[in-house]
Structure 1
Amino acid sequence: MAHSNLTITAFVKLGNFLRTFCELIDKNTISDHLNDKWVSSFKSEIERAHHYNGWFTDENCTHAFKEWGKVLSKENIEAWLSNYDLSTNNEKVVALILAGNIPLVGFHDLLCVLITGNKALVKLSSNDQKLIPLLIDFLIDIEPSLKDKVIFTKEKLDHYDAVIATGSNNTARYFEYYFGKKPNIIRKNRNSVAVLSGKESQEELTALGEDIFRYFGLGCRSVSKIYLPKEYNIDTFFKAMFPYNNIINHHKYANNYDYNKAVYLMSEFKILDNGFLILKEEESFGSPIASLFYEYYEDESTLKEKLKDNKENLQCIISSGFVEDEISFGNTQKPMLNDYADGIDTIAFLLNTSKN
């Protein structure tokens, strides 16, 4: 338990640093603090991130750091862990295959493994090779005992007791074949949807834009489809999205917008378009980048049943007073520590898995 307390303290200090670091960025005073090695390192890594991955803009990397800074407080961590008995853990090696679609997307898994007193054997995504190792370096600097707890590898995974792997529906089949004999959590594609009632305020709709455009819509928590009541005035929605129009100035996003628009037009699909977002009426959930699917509904109870039937395909439902576990507009990319991917409690999984 002593080690657990040291690990918690290290994560709390990381949270303190991230909050301070993001405040310096917000106040534009970071250049006055570059003699601090960690401020300098984090600033350099943010600046370099988009050279390795064009989607990892300064703004999106800073947003990821800011959200982690908010949740990694002593109060939040203790409240989260109060639901578990960490003393029951048997130390084991947990292989982590991380996604890299948005900055730091795999950090929650790493946090869960370390804070329960286990070791992490980590295979990073080629899309996010730099940011997570930076956070681990910071933690090891605070708490040197963590040095033996994290191994990054590019080799074939070997000598582990459990696996947490995140990927697409295709890679999930591969994961199940290779890791099925070990205790595992294998995550597949999921999407998030928003349900509009037509009674939303302008502020709520504009906040929904954050759920659609943050990280260019690349996250499983990003809204890729909206449900609209019959006779909904789509101009109301487009007007609320206007503050996000600068997104079209990002070249990778613009390329996707141009490509998808051309494909839709050549296929003679009926689309709605505001110059930076394409709306297409479609039953499926996963819209391409720069596109948003929409579907009309007439009956709320039928839609609730439909969403319930598709629970396995959905990460978040964004609405106001529509379903029990809904997320309010603008908050999909602000998950709390107990917001587990796919609704699978990672801490419980780790505590209930024995060392082989």
Structure 2
Amino acid sequence: MASGDGLLLRVRPPLARMTRDQALGLCELAQSLGSGMIDLTHRANLQLRGVRPEDHDAVVEALCRLGLVDVDATHEAWPAVLVAPCWQAGDDTQRIASALLARLGELPALPSKFGFAVDAGPAPVLTEASADIRIERARSGGLIVRADGAAAGHLVPRDDVAEAVAMALAMAVWFAATAGSVAPPSRRMRGLQQVCAVPRGDAPLDTAAPSAALPRPGMSQLGPVYGVAFGQIAATALGHLLQDSGAVALRLTSQRGLILEGGEWRESTAFITVADDPLLRVDACPGAPACASATVATRALALSLARQLLTDSPEAPRSLHVSGCAKGCARSGAADLTLVGRSGTFDLVRNGRAGDAPAQTGLSPENLRLCIGAP
């Protein structure tokens, strides 16, 4: 898609993992044919920024050689499959996700943001991530297939991987057949759940196991974990970190984190290295001038407000979203404070999303600080 700084190209690494060579190749590509910046999204996707239209074909060809996009362009329109990042080869998450990816071509047309989450480890870690159909570990220890927004999911007979995939695909087919029949038509499973119940069939129900946290900055069982402020990565910094750490692969998380698989810890000023850094609770889109839809700069303001507002005080807000426009691309969920650019000024939304009704409108950055109690 076109943006204010050139074309934006999405890359969806299978199982949210790239080998060392793939990751370094992506960094080189971002520097040679892009702006040198890479975005990491809440769906564990990457986006190359600043690609010139005349270089589009060359970038796609290079990504195909790296094995990071499918040579069949129609496959890139298939639903996203988000995976719990700490999967191990041969475990349920890896086997289910691989089998699901192989069968996505069987599905009818679905909305562009429709997707699956495969979260079959000991405890679900993707409960806050955007997905429409979830394959999770059940409270009873088995597997469930759960529609987003539903309190319980359908138990998978015998925990069979093929059956889990078949149930998830059947649920997606039901969505495609049903979503257009409600008014207004629904584009996400959660919205459809409010008016229609997913057919249960003969499968008994169970709730998901208590959730756990995604890996945060520090050392994990797979290797060092780094946070990415606002999801914006300098390709040069990532390349240096990969090489210095000796990592064999790079994994992405839905909370804009990087896991350097098999690597050693290296200090870095380019990434978040502290687990309780307030920047982990801030979302901000690229803003103006990088995005043509934005009328305000976002990230400098978000950076300054994060240090001033997101403190340990019980009265302090726990989350902040600075959006260049009402689309709210950087955060789909609600935040304690959401600042929305409109005609060069900011609207203030409390405990809501970018598209919600604001409590105050037309605020300059200075007036905005006074309203939210920032120095």
- For normalisation by structure 1, the TM-score amounts to 0.28
Higher relative contact order (CA 8 A, sep 6+): 1
* TM-score between both structures, scaled by the size of structure 2: 0.27
Q: Higher strand proportion, which one?
A: 2
